């Protein structure tokens, strides 16, 4: 089980700082806290002449975290800054210069340590693509894979709400300059929603948006991942084009409802990926059917079998279908993907089957 940031900080708050007389957290000495499923790492920021004094504090900090979870790896580093550097205010996460103009990049890249990068797209909004992305990510993680999820919808990020994760990314990592992602349900997460207030609009032109996406791909310290899922915004615009041109994609998945008007736009999304030489791994039908919880009557509110028929016509694999169900909506609104909160349910099994098919296609085991 992934430890929460609050749990870790509460544990470290039990350790007194020998200089200030308060605890380590109150003294603001804990920096670059990074929490993974099996590892916790952070820095204790001190003055250059106090390293010996804090060696014991470092051991105490390691011991406190190990009390929280059996077999967890704890990495604590003492960092010393000179007086002039310490007098300067620490950089704040919202000022990460996200959204600068894109830097020159000659070739496509893949984040270091990431095995597979998969884009999840749709031709139009409102087909449940972000909900699918979140639940598939959790399902893959529960299969023992190391999973990342990038919310690439800069204007309308959904993953912070769907995954129930909040907070601000910090600067750190192996080079001291990387953006440290957040974590939830065993998933490594990054979203524009972590960098702006929930009610704040991102009013950017194309170049800034493209620059932000390029930073999310290349500047975030994703770590070792079996798969990175990229939740795309709807349509065929700047984000999709930038992603295909700048990132080495292993494939794309198309999400649609069975409704004709949704399928028209889904075909456009497929044509875009074909033109950009991105292989399409399969199609998913969302909101495929509705079963009344009172009488059991089944009704196809948005049409029947439209996505599966489209997949057959275009010779694309059909990865599965997910019914329209209030439990999925309720779990999403509460920030607990249904695959995590009710793994044995019929609704969860639909997501798990899709995750299993995707994993098999990518030879992830």
DSSP 305-340: SHHHHHHHHTT--EEEEE---HHHHHHHHTT--HHH
Neighbour count for residue 262 (Cβ, 10 Å): 25
Neighbour count for residue 83 (Cβ, 10 Å): 8
Amino acid 86: pLDDT: 40
As a whole number, mean pLDDT of residues 341-345 equals 83
Of 131, 113, 358, the residue nearest 231 (C-alpha): 131
- Among the listed ranges 50-64, 80-94, 123-137, 247-261, which one has the minimum average pLDDT value? 80-94
- Looking at residue 287, the DSSP 8-state letter turns out to be S
Q: Provide the pLDDT confidence category of residue 124 given band limits of 50, 70 and 90.
A: confident
Q: Provide the pLDDT confidence category of residue 100 given band limits of 50, 70 and 90.
A: low
Please tell me which residue, 334 or 302, carries the higher pLDDT value.
334
Q: How far apart are the first and last CA of the chain?
A: 22
Distance CA 127, CA 182 (A): 26
Instruction: Estimate the crossing angle of helix 306-313 against helix 260-275, to 10 degrees.
Output: 30
pLDDT digits (tens, 9 = 90+) for 54-83: 888 989 999 999 999 888 888 888 875 443
Q: Provide the pLDDT confidence category of residue 95 given band limits of 50, 70 and 90.
A: very low
Q: Please determine, for residue 107, whether its predicted confidence score (pLDDT) is greater than 80.
A: no
H helix or E strand, kind and range, residue 180: strand 178-180
pLDDT digits (tens, 9 = 90+) for 14-35: 999 888 888 898 888 888 788 8
Q: Provide the pLDDT confidence category of residue 365 given band limits of 50, 70 and 90.
A: low
pLDDT digits (tens, 9 = 90+) for 248-304: 999 999 999 999 999 999 999 999 999 999 999 999 999 888 888 888 788 888 888
Amino acid 183: pLDDT: 92
pLDDT digits (tens, 9 = 90+) for 215-263: 899 889 999 999 999 999 988 888 888 888 889 999 999 999 999 999 9
* Number of Cα atoms under 13 Å in the Cβ half of residue 295: 3
Please tell me which residue, 1 or 117, carries the higher pLDDT value.
117
Average pLDDT value over all residues in the chain: 86
Q: Please determine, for residue 104, whether its predicted confidence score (pLDDT) is greater than 60.
A: no
Distance CA 180, CA 75 (A): 15
Q: Please determine, for residue 91, whether its predicted confidence score (pLDDT) is greater than 60.
A: no
Amino acid 286: pLDDT: 92
Neighbour count for residue 145 (Cβ, 10 Å): 20
For the chain, give percent helix, strand, coil, nearest 5: 35, 25, 40
Q: Find out whether 272 and 321 touch, Cβ atoms under 8 Å.
A: no
Amino acid 96: pLDDT: 53
Pair type for strands 30-35 and 39-46: antiparallel
Q: Please determine, for residue 102, whether its predicted confidence score (pLDDT) is greater than 70.
A: no
Distance CA 227, CA 280 (A): 16
- Looking at residue 102, the DSSP 8-state letter turns out to be P
Q: What are the structural domains of the chain?
A: 5-83 (3.30.300.130), 114-361 (3.40.50.300)
Distance CA 133, CA 232 (A): 10
Q: Find out whether 48 and 32 touch, Cβ atoms under 8 Å.
A: no
Q: What is the distance, to the nearest Å, from the Cα of residue 325 to the centroid of all Cα atoms in its chain?
A: 24
Amino acid 101: pLDDT: 52
């Amino acid at each position: 089980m992934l430890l929460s940031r609050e749990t870790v900080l509460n544990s470290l708050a039990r350790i007194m700082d020998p200089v200030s007389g308060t605890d380590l957290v109150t003294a603001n000495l804990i920096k670059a806290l990074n929490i993974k499923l099996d590892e916790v790492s952070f820095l204790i920021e001190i003055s250059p002449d106090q390293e010996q004094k804090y060696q014991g504090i470092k051991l105490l900090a390691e011991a406190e975290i190990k009390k929280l979870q059996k077999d967890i790896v704890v990495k604590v580093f003492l960092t010393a800054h000179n007086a002039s550097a310490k007098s300067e205010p620490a950089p704040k996460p919202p000022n990460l210069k996200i959204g600068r103009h894109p830097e020159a990049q000659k070739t496509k890249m893949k984040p270091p340590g990431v095995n597979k990068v998969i884009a999840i797209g749709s031709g139009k909004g409102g087909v449940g693509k972000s909900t699918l992305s979140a639940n598939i990510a959790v399902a893959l993680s529960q299969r023992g894979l190391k999973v990342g999820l990038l919310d690439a919808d800069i204007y309308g990020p959904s993953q912070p709400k769907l995954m129930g994760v909040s907070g601000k990314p910090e600067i750190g990592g192996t080079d001291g300059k990387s953006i440290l992602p957040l974590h939830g349900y065993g998933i490594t997460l990054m979203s524009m929603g972590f960098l702006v207030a929930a009610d704040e609009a991102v009013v950017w032109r194309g170049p800034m948006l493209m620059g932000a996406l390029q930073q999310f791909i290349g500047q975030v310290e994703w770590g070792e991942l079996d798969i990175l899922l990229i939740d795309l915004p709807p349509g065929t615009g700047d984000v999709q084009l930038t992603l295909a041109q700048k990132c080495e994609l292993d494939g794309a998945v198309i999400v649609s409802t069975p409704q004709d008007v949704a399928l028209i736009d889904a075909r456009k999304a497929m044509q875009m990926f074909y033109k950009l030489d991105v292989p399409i791994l399969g199609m998913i039908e969302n909101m495929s059917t509705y079963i009344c919880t009172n009488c059991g009557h089944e009704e196809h509110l948005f049409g029947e079998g439209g996505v599966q028929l489209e997949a057959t016509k275009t010779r694309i694999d059909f990865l599965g279908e997910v019914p329209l169900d209030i439990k999925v909506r309720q779990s999403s609104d509460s920030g607990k993907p249904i695959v995590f909160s009710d793994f044995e349910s019929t609704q969860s099994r639909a997501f798990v089957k899709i995750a299993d098919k995707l994993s098999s296609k990518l030879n992830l085991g």
